[in-house]
A = this chain, B = another copy of it.
Amino acid sequence: MPQSQTPVDPAGKSRAEPKQHHLVVVGAGFAGLALVKALKAPGLRITIVDQRNHHLFQPLLYQVATTILPTSDVAWPIRNLFKTRQDVTTLLGEVVGVDTSARRVALKDGPPLSYDTLVLATGARHSYFGHDEWEGAAPGLKSLEDATTIRRRVLSAFERAEVSQDEAERSALLTFVVVGAGPTGVELAGIIADLAQRILPKEFRNIDTRQARVILVEAGPRVLPAFPEKLSAYVDRALARLGVTVLTRHAVSSISDSAVTIGDAGTPARTVIWAAGVTASPAASWLDVEADRAGRVKVERDLSVPGHPGIFVIGDTACVMRDDGRQVPGLAPAAKQQGQFVAGVLKARLSGRSTRRAFSYRDMGNLATVGKGAAVVDFGRIQLKGAIAWWLWGIAHIYFLIGTRSRIAVALSWLWSYATGRNSARLITQRDVHAGKP
């Protein structure tokens, strides 16, 4: 690169060519994207690294798993989002460690990346509470592959039941267990029940898909524990109307390819979906710093890592406290706010201003849906349920999607699904690598 021709000002600030500063952002989820979008500064070069080539709109991933949306409606190529940002380089790569003293990020393939500032926004993955052996039989829902795996298993269960001549086998194939009654679990159970009750019955000749059982298991006392009790009760009734059996205060003690033990009772079931717990990415172990029980890095008020002012952790990988002592929830709006906040901190630092700021979470409310026409919205003082909440839920999700094409495509898929009952993506694709599963 040619030497700068700008004469160096002895004061070293105002007239000098800005010093190149390299920011590495790991993870292009809501937090990482929001940060890069909000941050552009003279002399700042940004590299965004992700192990996927796409940003995933997680809040609608369960609709891919349940045939309503095609994979391409909820995922966008990351580098396409920064096409016009010459200061941003996108790299597909898997981070395997951080050398904080040499300020380098180690990639699984390819040379290490040097950074001046590092932001880890690597999200979370499912946690099986020490039972990792359950993962094969009970996949969670974090990636497009997880979604197509669940879709394949749900659809294959109906297909295999149609062929089966063994009554017990048929019954096990038509039993679907969803573990965990947070928003994802509730939404999955609701749509699987809807598939069995409304979408599929006319298409099978040997089985009555309405005989399928959908069981939603929750260890806590009620569904949607993060919502007010009144809304939980409404969702509980909505699930019952859809034909979902809700078992609260029930823990799962074993999961195999053929059965689930709920409490003390074994239930033969061929399809189990895990929506019960998440654990943070291994960012804390890369940095060798303190983490909470869920593996999240305990960050400072400005979201930097204690002892490492040049490293920030944001999104689901960070344990951030609110003023009232509660934790900031693992929701998309919280992740975005953290990304935007760190963008502000870095802008101030790069221009030499003081940065004694503390992150403050603005609660934008919480939404969940249970099926056609039923949803709950919690704005704190204002709480909505039913059709109004459902419309609000739909509009909010379309609004937060990235790009016009996705908005049109999702709206079209929804319209089609709700008007005709023909879901857009009822495809069984890829073989399952897990033994015994289709």
Residues on the B chain within 8 Å of A403, using CB: 422
Can you list, as one digit per residue, whether each of A89-111 has a CB less than 8 Å from chain B (1) or not (0)?
11111000000000000010111
A430: min CB distance to chain B, Å: 6
Smallest CB separation, A75 vs chain B (Å) = 6
Q: Which of A60-83 contact B (CB under 8 A)?
A: 70-73, 75, 77, 79-80, 82-83
Closest to A165 in B: B111
1/0 contact string of A364-384 vs chain B (CB within 8 Å): 000000000000000000000
Residue of B nearest to A86 (CB): B205
**Residue contact A75 to B427, C-beta cutoff 8 Å:** yes
Out of B71, B202, B416, B428, which one reaches A52, CB within 8 Å? B428
| Contact in complex: A163, B93 (CB < 8 Å) | yes
Q: Which residue of B lies closest to A76 (CB)?
A: B426
Q: Are B427 and A71 in contact (CB under 8 A)?
A: yes
The answer, among B73, B90, B145, B202, for a CB contact under 8 Å with A203, is B90
Chain A: interface size category: 35 or more
Report A58 CB to chain B, min CB distance, Å. 15
Check B203–A163 contact: CB distance below 8 A: no
Q: Does A127 contact B (CB under 8 A)?
A: no
A80–B427 touching, CB < 8 Å: no
- Per-residue interface assignment for chain A, residues 409 to 430, with 1 indicating a CB less than 8 Å from any chain B CB and 0 otherwise: 1001000100010101111111
Task: Confirm or deny: A287 has a beta carbon within 8 angstroms of a beta carbon on chain B.
Answer: no
- Cα(A77)–Cα(B200), bound, Å: 11
Given the known A-B contacts A53-B159, A79-B203, are A148 and B429 also in contact in the complex, defined by CB atoms under 8 Å?
yes
Q: A429–B145 contact, CB under 8 A?
A: yes
**CB distance B53 to A89 under 8 Å?**
no
Q: Is the CB of B405 within 8 A of A416?
A: yes
Minimal beta-carbon separation of A191 from chain B (angstroms): 16
Count of this chain's copies in the oligomeric assembly? 2
B204 touches A79 (CB 8 A): yes
Q: Are A84 and B202 in contact (CB under 8 A)?
A: yes
Asked if B92 contacts A53 (CB within 8 A), the reply is no
Also in contact, A110 and B164, with CB within 8 A (given A71-B71, A202-B83, A422-B80):
yes
Please tell me if the beta carbons of B428 and A163 are within 8 angstroms of each other in the complex: no
Cα separation A109 to B160 with both chains bound (whole Å): 9
In the complex, A144 has a CB within 8 A of chain B: yes
Q: Are B72 and A427 in contact (CB under 8 A)?
A: yes
Chain B residue contacts of A424, Cβ below 8 A: 72, 405, 409
Kindly state the separation between the CA atoms of A73 and B71 in the bound complex, as whole angstroms: 11
Q: List 23 A-B contacts (CB under 8 A).
A: A52-B428, A53-B155, A53-B159, A70-B72, A71-B425, A71-B427, A71-B429, A75-B427, A79-B204, A80-B422, A82-B203, A83-B202, A83-B203, A84-B202, A90-B162, A91-B159, A92-B156, A92-B163, A93-B163, A110-B164, A144-B427, A145-B429, A405-B412
A contact residues vs B (CB 8 Å cutoff): 52-54, 70-73, 75, 77, 79-80, 82-84, 86, 89-93, 107, 109-111, 144-145, 148, 155-156, 159-160, 162-165, 202-206, 403, 405, 408-409, 412, 416, 420, 422, 424-430
